[in-house]
Amino acid sequence: MRGCVSNKLDVKQGTLALMILTTLESLGPLHGYGIARRIEETSGQRLVLNYGTLYPALLKLEQAGYIKPEWKASENNRRAKFYALTAAGRRQLARERKEWNETADLLSAFLAPRPT
C-alpha cells in the first residue's frame, strides 16, 4: 500500500492484515474491491490501496486459514471472490489487536512523556 499523492500516508508494515481482518469482522464477507474501498473510506481517504499489495495480503491470510473465500455474485451481478473471517481469523485478530494496543501504549509513553 502506498500513497499516490504527497498528502497520502504509507501503511506501516504489518498493519494491512489487521485492517483487512478488522474490516471483515465489522462488515462481514466482502470482495477485494469492497475491502479496499472500506479501508480507504475508514482512513478518511488518507490511504490509497495498491491492488498489487491487497491481493497478495488476501492470499496470505487465506493460506494461513484466517479468511475463507467463496465465489458469489457481486452487487452488479458479476462473479467475485468474497472473503469471510474464520474462527482462526477471529483469534488472530484478537492477538494482533492486543499487540498493536500494547505497542501504541508503549510509543505514547515516549511521544508524550509524563513529568517525572
SS (H, E, C) the chain: CCCCCCCCCCCCCCHHHHHHHHHHHHHCCEEHHHHHHHHHHHCCCCCCCCHHHHHHHHHHHHHCCCEEEEEEECCCCCEEEEEEECHHHHHHHHHHHHHHHHHHHHHHHHHCCCCC
pLDDT score of 20: 96
**pLDDT over 60 at 3, yes or no:** no
What CATH number should be reported for the domain whose range is 15-111? 1.10.10.10
Window from 73-77, 100-104, 111-115 with minimum mean pLDDT: 111-115
pLDDT tens for each residue of 19-60 = 999 999 999 999 999 999 999 999 998 888 888 889 999 999
pLDDT score of 2: 42
Question: What is the rounded end-to-end Cα distance, in angstroms, of the chain?
Answer: 40
